[in-house]
Structure 1
């Protein structure tokens, strides 16, 4: 997910640019707007953004000064400039300051899309390169974690994956430091390294980076930036691990596998409801006991354990991404009793909901 700050002194243009930016991609959102550079810097002091899309001529502080200040204070950001034909000298100056592209008003959707695509590529490439260098430098100190991952992937240990992910996240955060935006590329670099190790065992895996949709609001306060990127990294590590699990088991297209996939889909949509094994087995017209055996054989875990994993995963996202109370989260994922919910959560993650939130946000 890329968050854009739009800076222009004309309200109608800010509104138009906001609409055009969000038409580009569901993964590119407008996090905030400002009427001049001074207001933009004040907004950035309190919120997070990846891209600054700014006009040149504005009262109090124009685009050139804003770009210089952004470069100094927020070096992870990329800047795009929008301005008029008669301001070409500003365009040249903005490029010298590192602006990635210059877009002429009135802004054409196709032209803006191209600029945003280049900005997204620039952000991704720069961060992936930084993460790869950081990981390679530290890898000799983390061989025990590498071996732990390889062993767990090869033996398909679903039950202890949440603890492995949390421990891995702590390790990656020690490499990122205050650069929380590096947690995403660090997670992908880690997974790719594990995949390379597994190739030695003739396991071939193709990883795809997941999306961060639905994990947070468009605007992220500075005090929540760390929590947001930690949550994104957890999702990447978990999705990557499940992909590796699936390939490691080399599951073939077979009627029993299709039944299991149908049930997974059903559980994913109805996890908040009161489910029992018979009701779940009924979805694929297989007897309860036989289906339980098939599910365990195909996935390495029981149906009930899988349901709990889905519920706890959703609970974790709500715990970190919303202000809901524990009892509200419990109800939202299918538990009437918040005490029982907390016990199950602790069994899954090794920490109570309150302890887990404190650890993720500390």
Structure 2
């Protein structure tokens, strides 16, 4: 059973699509509706959403911006975009952010239902394909490492000198031109915790788990990202993600957020399908394969940082102030001090801006010079609050004060604490306090 979220600033469209889906026979558990991107974000933060269906042009937050934020919050959410515009630029941006379809209004009911069934079926097939891999554990399955020659060449790039690197790059370009065209690259390294597996009975099982993880990475990346996944000997699985000049120049999506989105999706799916813990280290973005060693070193350092935070799984090199520590390993007191400073700055920013309409996790992270993924983790670890729960807490406390101590109406209070819709404000209020604003006023 699946949960769907429909987002459109025209209430009649939301109602019509809800009725259509409710009568479709598709295995749907719950249908949520939102009339703005900000309202939709609250549902994404509070509910388990499997499929997001969103309009492209909506008031103060577009469907593209909603997709960007949704991918930060829950990167595994599937998306179908609906639009009254056939503009290629919109469609291109939506597909680049992972939209599974782009449908033009007025919607054809059968086409929409077919698209939804296809997305949900694809999701089920992905689950089934991983089950098939796992079912082979006790069979006489011989694992062959995918593209060993490609892995060998890419591995050599890390240690090659300038002359040898030019030769290897030329050879890669001849044999695998699509994976080294770049010119912008970043590296992700994936380390499996095989000790956490209940399926590991032999060396062959360990190889198969790595093979299954590489298949999950390919399944996740193939449709949307220019990449190459490979593994050398006993090394972590490596994925080289690349962007062309045009893709890198597209300011519609933050590239670091994209990398962390991939990392979180990968970790989520490996845990879900393989029952394995996994840690992912991500390098910064470089221009040119001549920086392969730097990318590999950064990804390794990000992986190593996981020793300090065993309850976190995706680490971006740029989040850590390496220049403060030099070559020495920072002690616990230094790390704690730095992290407390990040959280306190974040808390202060939220307390000053929680009533701002359109406040997003991405904005809070940018103001504090860390990635949304790492900030969310630190804030929860140190303050005890999920970051957005803290925003809602401040909004609800202020709205309760205004409700009981002033004569302001519901829509005026909603406006003052940062909600665009009084109806949505009332839903959040009731979820938080267990009663509606009018019931509390009485």
User: Relative to total residues, which structure has the larger strand share, 1 or 2?
Assistant: 2
Q: Same fold (TM over 0.5)?
A: no
User: Relative to total residues, which structure has the larger helix share, 1 or 2?
Assistant: 1
Q: TM-score, normalised by structure 1?
A: 0.37
Q: TM-score, normalised by structure 2?
A: 0.31
